Structure 1
Amino acid sequence: MAARELGQPRIDVGSCESTQALVDASMPEGALAVADYQTAGRGRLGRTWEAPPGTAILCSLLLKPPAERPAPELSLVAGVAIADTLERSIGLSVQLKWPNDVMLRRMKVAGCLAEARDGAVVLGIGVNVNQRSEDLPERAGSLRTTTGREWDREQLLASIVDDLGHRYSDWLDGGLDAVYEGLGSRDFLRGRQVSVNGTSGTAMKIDRQGRLVIAVGHGELLTVESGEVVYER
């Protein structure tokens, strides 16, 4: 399937509460909202996403997948696309931490948030690009702190949107299985001791339905569809 053309129409703002509020289901698929700064950026489980003005990629994209495609999988699809862009751009291996984090040298550098809305999905993406160490929370990094140089946010955003167009098209055509080669091999949690929803064990893999599989002892495997992961560093 040909890549979906995403990123138009585009809304650019200097500051907003959250780009998630700038797009809605009445817009064409592919509508993109981009901000230099968010006063109330949203992450998973009600967390905030904060970055000094002009240092991060902060955007939301409107997608309209068919009902048979599970919307939560889009966080993983977007993670694969971000990893594609970053590996090609900076030449370092990127990993994906289930369910929605992008990791570079064991530090979170990006996150994705897929919110179902009126039959559509608003996909929020945040990428730490040019923040300094003192700008970042614990266990977070940026491209700048990792590579020692600043990066062009607009070029990176264009590449992410393009890569997402390809990965989204593959997902529409064949589900998560169609992008799995970019997901399973980048599994950050595999082999780590984790705790999810009060259950501890060893993370085995992200399966082809986007679930985390955990070995909890005595040969028993637990499949987790959603939850908060705590892992041993």
Structure 2
Amino acid sequence: MAALETPQADSIAPAAVEPLLRGGFGRPYVYSERCDSTQTHLDPGLDEGAVAACDEQTEGRGRLGRRWIAPAGSAILLSVLLRPPAGRRVAELSLVGGIATALTVERALGLSSQIKWPNDVMVNRGKVAGVLAETREGVVILGVGLNVNQGREELPADAPVPPASLRTIDGVRRMRAPLLADLVLEVERAYKVWGAGEIAALFEELGPRDFLRNRRIWVDGEAGQAVAIDRSGRLEVNVGGEQRFVESGEVRYER
């Protein structure tokens, strides 16, 4: 991954990104320097695989409406338009996006990453990325926020999960365009595998990266022990000796 000599050299404008796109996704590539949220920046009538990206979001958000804050030009903030097969669980797409992001992060850092069910990517116990899948007007918008070049002081101190960026992990300031193109390609690959089968088809990439495995957790306020992410993408939890499978919910964990 190319290192960045000066912040001014970094760009995710079309001229920097489009020559690096290698698959079918990212066409069109809808870019703005500043937008409210990439989640609202894609016309549902665009082709599947259309990508929206912004250097700065004024209303970026994650799950449960939490704000996603990143200084302008420091992160990768993008959304991908998807048209999944009828009858498929949209919630699984957060895991699909998580797998794609985790693989991208691992190649950039040369370190292993983990997926905190259902939608966070973790490295060394710090959250480097979040994924959000939302249904809008008959399509799914899959959003990814990946912390790239923020310094420690630029990350929110009051986040519910300790944040990190690629730069705080290895000290390298990166050009975002190659990283963004890699991420789009990984999303396309993981999505096509999922579309041809089920989330189980990605289990070999998901299972070993399970951040919550064997941790004491609270799901919607109820305490238990996380067992594993199952082949349906659910979180298996042991609650007082009773086995439960959680398809969605708010998870806290014991640090």
Aligning the two structures, in what range does the TM-score lie when normalised by the shorter sequence? Answer: over 0.9
**1:63-118 CA distances to partner (integer Å, 9 max, x unpaired)?**
00111221111110011011111112210000000010000100000000000112
CA contact (8 A) 2:69 2:156 kept: no
Cα RMSD after superposing both structures: 1.2
2:230 to 200, 207, 226: 207
Give unmatched runs, 5+ long, in structure 1: none
4+ residue runs of structure 1 moved beyond 2 angstroms? none
Give unmatched runs, 5+ long, in structure 2: 1-21
Partner of 2:25: 6
Partner of 2:216: 193
**1:22-61 CA distances to partner (integer Å, 9 max, x unpaired)?**
1132111111111000011011001110100000000111
2:84 to 65, 69, 86: 65
Alpha-carbon distance between aligned partners in 2 of 1:105 and 1:57, rounded to the nearest angstrom:
20
What secondary structure sits across from 1:121 in the alignment?
A: strand
Partner of 1:226: 248
> Identity across aligned pairs (percent)?
53
After TM superposition, list the pairs within 5 Å mapping 1:15-164 onto structure 2. Answer: 15-138=34-157, 139-164=162-187
Alpha-carbon distance between aligned partners in 2 of 1:13 and 1:210, rounded to the nearest angstrom:
34
- TM-score norm. by structure 1 comes to 0.96
The 10-residue stretch of structure 1 (17-26 or 43-52) with the greater mean CA deviation from structure 2: 17-26
Alpha-carbon distance between aligned partners in 1 of 2:175 and 2:254, rounded to the nearest angstrom:
33
User: Counterpart of 2:58 in structure 1: which amino acid?
Assistant: T
Alpha-carbon distance between aligned partners in 1 of 2:95 and 2:23, rounded to the nearest angstrom:
17
Alpha-carbon distance between aligned partners in 1 of 2:233 and 2:44, rounded to the nearest angstrom:
25
CA contact (8 A) 1:24 1:122 kept: no
What secondary structure sits across from 1:42 in the alignment?
A: coil
- TM-score norm. by structure 2 comes to 0.88
**1:1-40 CA distances to partner (integer Å, 9 max, x unpaired)?**
xx97211101110001101111132111111111000011
How many residues in Structure 1 have an aligned counterpart in Structure 2?
230
What secondary structure sits across from 1:183 in the alignment?
A: helix
**1:160-205 CA distances to partner (integer Å, 9 max, x unpaired)?**
1111111111000111011111111100000110000121111001
CA contact (8 A) 1:75 1:113 kept: yes
